[in-house]
Structure 1
């Protein structure tokens, strides 16, 4: 069970998604053990599903195609260290409206130093503000849609700053991928990210555009970004499989 955000925040999901996801809580009550991603999600599942018997966190890992030795493919016309980056499914939970608003307000993006948005539309959409739409129209914000892992790795490695201001997550893999490949990360000030990223990221309230903008300005203006180690909760897929197998058979 990746997360139960459909129980805590149903407004983030379409009617069809809510109908499909409504089948999952009854299934959890029939399971001898439920595996989920984070300790934060363990607490959320337990608080909203009292009849679930046992919930264990097993974490997530980065795909081998985004590992340190994987292929990186540049984006034509995009210069290294000239852009901000955000990655994820394009829906209301990813908070793209505030992300773009804050990037514009920070004064750090323009046509030659854009905010790059990677991801495909999925689920309940979000209406951008007129200011955000204008930034898209002029080219200060560029949507690339879905990209290959090789292109994604290059973007992670060469962005000035990686933004992930999601309203909430069960885990949130993109900022971990970015941090693992050396990007400076600004993430939402939510418990799950403090668990998965620890001191490996800077934080801002995803609902506070001014605070996000101030953090963007400060992080982009800093001449050097010291390496920020990821917490020990971060694991690779091979360890994840081993942990899940062991947990399921205990």
Structure 2
């Protein structure tokens, strides 16, 4: 590593470390995280150690954010989607976790992994804000998540998708029916935005582990080039916002 690389790395690590705040609560530690919810509220987690195990919880912060937006996580699509987000940590839940908590349990040596897993899941839960019947103007990605929820289907916003050569990238949403389907929203209000959306979706899906039939590009209405749509169809299903409900209903039936 060159001296410049080392300098940049050291600065990034130092800056990242300074964005955390730790408060000793006696039998646990409160960790203020650098992430924020869309409301502007700061994310924090609580960490407790039990012998050689560690448990991390968001103490229901993500659920509170959704409740404030009028999203019911106790029934219907809100419940199923929130439970899918809880399960998206990839780790075992904490012992005696409440149904409104996002938690993770891991070996003590994996404490950082457990904290990051809960933080990432909390940010996915924040994506469920698109399910709210909010008066604000939604982004195209939020509209897609909202339309999935309107169909009473389980949705995980900002879901990770595995690459064939390792690593994970983020798609707009994962829909869990009989199988898992990965959706990427492609906004297209301008020629440049359509090109950027096309490039991004191509990069996401070309190297993805899920099969072509389980990858879906949802394009916004606009003057898409025929070659863009044709190229996308080589690597995934392609639909638009108006046809998405019919596609999802076929998948779920």
Q: TM class by shorter-chain length?
A: under 0.3
Higher relative contact order structure (alpha carbons within 8 Å, sequence separation ≥ 6): 1
Of Structure 1 and Structure 2, which has the larger fraction of its residues in strand?
2
What TM-score comes out, normalization by structure 2 length?
A: 0.24
What TM-score comes out, normalization by structure 1 length?
A: 0.24
